[in-house]
Structure 1
């Protein structure tokens, strides 16, 4: 059975995994462990647990349990002391407290949800994302970094504090994979927090499989204003230590009314400057589905998303 490793954060991983789980393949989802915003941030502060939110999304995506169970894990309380918390985040937190081990908690919940494949934290260390700007100013915490105008600074150096060590299970999965995929996601909050883990670039160099990037759809104002795909590739190579074998790039534009909502917030579509790059596949990867953003959600969610079926079909051609 062919092996695929999907690396990222919450929404990007969820999208890819939702499509890939319909194929007869061995799936490993690798999740960043630096999230400290929204419900996850509250639970980290209150209970000293590792971040559950992105892991929950991956578990739900790979679940072959009933629709009711998947809805339960994503159910977000809209009142009371649990306001803003998804049930799944609370469940993972409780399971970690009971088992005393985050990985063990994820394994147990994987059985409960009957997931296809496995979900692994990129590191089991309690880490926080930091960035050093122009060699001087330091910002600590993914949530603070996400809200900071990084574009004002020419030099940005990301790292983890304390230094996170690559989960040995992740290392083994990457090295044996037939395909290693970096999900779309917030560059500085979902992607780079995986790549800066000690030992991650080395594992990528040792993999026998193709290294693929599913390119982001939208630029984040204040961080990647008006970036082209080439800018993302340059920044990712800096931390991954290698080039991508293949890049999947969406060429379909969203509906005008959706684009307007983004333009009003100064969010622009990622474009391709050099349309003759050999390793870039230009495809229709856009989803027509527009998700709801419930009031109880403590974080803003993206309205422009990739289509799970289109992406999985494109990726399967490399296996």
Structure 2
């Protein structure tokens, strides 16, 4: 089975940790198409200085797919403390350095993949210096992934539209080729408007996905995200994804039904996050096959999908769809 995962942030890298274990077994070929619209932290500073695509999500996915020694993985995620490099991650600086040496963002990623011995291919959604914009329900227009989320938190307004500039940004040819040959395309989990949707705002990627014969799976987040998906149910996530991308359909939705422990849940609620309601019947009425299962891990720090459990459910669902 040829698999393409589309997204960004911690959601995509977490998913890849599970999928990579099946490469060479149930998965013949694994690729990740990764957003480069991030504008916060180390990534944002490097983008302003060098006018490059965002390296942060690429770095996280490289580490997630890595089969190298743990010390190398930790090195790529290391963040400097103090001085002019404060807050920068080694991996981001490494990718920017490789880009300067090799002359291209794609080449830099490929060299880093060789060093980290990745079990799968990492492809940026575009190599252009794109910027994300959003219009809110109060009419305000905001630029930048980090600013969009922050404005949503403070204003309590809803995101009604998102777009990228330049609007005609082109993807690498490999991204289109991988989508066209895929048996399975996975969206999510991750920040809906700032990690998943931006990839589909690149018209050539959207068209390739639209006309692909692959089974299309959408993994709904376990928790709502302040500033982006406040009070969203599972159905709301799907409806917003299809509306903002103009994609005609998805085939399968994966939902979490497990409630976190009271201690962890209380901390999330204090931060304005709550479990996403799995309104299964409403989704099923749209003709989408739903798999609703206990999917989050047992960590006492974060509420995230368990990578192995999520991978198992996805591959089982797709196996049924293809049989």
Change over 3 Å in CA distance of 1:274–1:315 after alignment to 2: closer
**Residues 142 and 155 of structure 1, relative CA distance in 2, 3 Å threshold:** closer
Alignment of 1:1-319 (within 5 A): 2-23=1-22, 24=24, 25=27, 26-134=29-137, 136-149=139-152, 152-153=156-157, 156-163=160-167, 164-238=169-243, 239-275=245-281, 277=284, 279-290=289-300, 303-317=302-316, 318-319=318-319
Q: Equivalents in 2 of 1:243, 1:183: separation in Å?
A: 15
Shift in Å at residue 77 of structure 1?
1.8
Cα distance, 1:135 vs. partner? 8.9
Q: CA–CA distance in 1 between the matches of 2:225 and 2:247?
A: 24
Measure, in 1, the Cα distance between the counterparts of 2:268 and 2:221.
14
Q: Distance in 1 between matches of 2:126 and 2:52?
A: 13
Asked if 2 retains the 8 angstrom alpha-carbon contact of 1:221 and 1:267, the reply is: yes
CA change 1:134–1:267 in 2 (3 A) is: closer
Cα deviation code 1:100-131 (max 9, x no counterpart): 21011101111111111110001111100011
TM-score of the superposed pair, with normalisation by structure 2 = 0.90
Give 3-state SS (helix, strand or coil) of 2:254's partner.
strand
SS where residue 271 of structure 1 aligns? coil
Q: State the 1:48 CA deviation.
A: 2.1
Q: Residues 24-78 of structure 1: CA distance to partner in whole angstroms, max 9, x if unpaired?
A: 2211011001001011001111222221110001101111111111111111223
What is the DSSP-based 3-state SS (H/G/I as helix, E as strand, rest coil) of the residue aligned with 1:82?
A: coil
Which ranges in structure 2 are unaligned for 5 or more consecutive residues? none
Question: Could you tell me how far 1:282 is from its partner in structure 2?
Answer: 0.5
Do the aligned partners of 1:49 and 1:96 also contact (CA within 8 Å) in 2?
no
Structure 2: how far apart are the matches of 1:306 and 1:11?
11
- Between Structure 1 and Structure 2, how many residues are aligned? 307
TM-score normalised by the chain length of structure 1: 0.91
Distance 1:44 1:103 in 2: 16
Greater helix share, structure number? 2
Looking at structure 1, the residues matched to 228 and 54 of structure 2 have their Cα atoms a distance apart, in angstroms, of 23
Query: What whole-Å deviation, never above 9, does each CA across 1:249-270 have from its counterpart, x for those lacking one?
Result: 0000111111001111221110
| C-alpha separation in 1, matches of 2:88 and 2:128 | 23
Cα separation, 2, equivalents of 1:316 and 1:228: 24
Q: How far off is 1:242 after superposition?
A: 2.1
For 1:138 and 1:11, the matched residues in 2 are separated by 26
RMSD, aligned CA: 1.8
Preserved CA contact (<8 Å) 1:228 1:271: yes
